[in-house]
Amino acid sequence: MSQPATPHRPSAAYRYLFVGVLGLVVGLIATVMVSRAIQARQDPFPDALMHVMNRQVQLLQDAQAQNRCTLADSVPRLQTLRSLSNDVDLAFPGLKDSQGFQQHASALRATLNQALVAPPTDCVGMGQLVEKIQNDCKACHQDFR
């Protein structure tokens, strides 16, 4: 007497695995779409301005570290920094009416104006100037970051 053959059912684990992977993929795509939508609503100008200003200060530091402290090395960077400092108010319109913010912005502009009137001609002077610029930036960031 032979026993009737029972049909072999595949395990449901593969279905659960497929649904789980599909859920992860859909969740990942939704997360990317939401983050892109949030990113599109943010103004990149403030961060971009700060990055460019920071890079100019780094280039001054690099020139000093390489003992390239001539006027040709420092003046173009100082002019760029001074020009960019005019846009600080535009980058942070919510702080436009803040007296503290205006004082910090004015201090940075005064430092850069003074540096352009009498640019550093040696590495010691450039080091002092870079430190002064960094201190002006740091003071503002401590109060408004």
Q: What is the pLDDT of residues 110-130, one digit of tens each?
A: 999 999 999 998 999 999 999
Can you give the pLDDT at residue 11?
A: 75
Taking residue 81's Cβ as centre, other Cβ atoms within 10 Å add up to 22
Whether the Cβ atoms of residue 111 and residue 35 lie closer than 8 Å to each other: no
Helical segments of 5-44, H only: 13-41
pLDDT of residue 137: 95
Which has more confidence, 80 or 7?
80
Give the single-character DSSP code of 95.
G
Q: What is the mean pLDDT of residues 53-71?
A: 94
68 or 10, which is more confident? 68
Has residue 2 got a pLDDT over 70? no
Do 143 and 104 meet the contact criterion of CB atoms below 8 Å apart? yes
Statement: residue 13 has pLDDT above 80: yes
Q: Answer whether 58's CB lies under 8 Å from 88's CB.
A: no
Mean predicted lDDT score pLDDT of the chain: 91
Residue with the bigger pLDDT between 5 and 141: it is 141
pLDDT confidence of 30, banded at 50, 70, 90? very high
122 CB-near residues (< 8 Å, 6+ apart): 69
Q: What is the pTM of this model?
A: 0.74
Q: Hunting for tokens 């460019």 — which residue is that?
A: 52
Neighbours of 109 (CB within 10 A): 16
- Return the pLDDT at 3: 63
What pLDDT, on a 0 to 100 scale, did the predictor assign at position 1?
Answer: 53
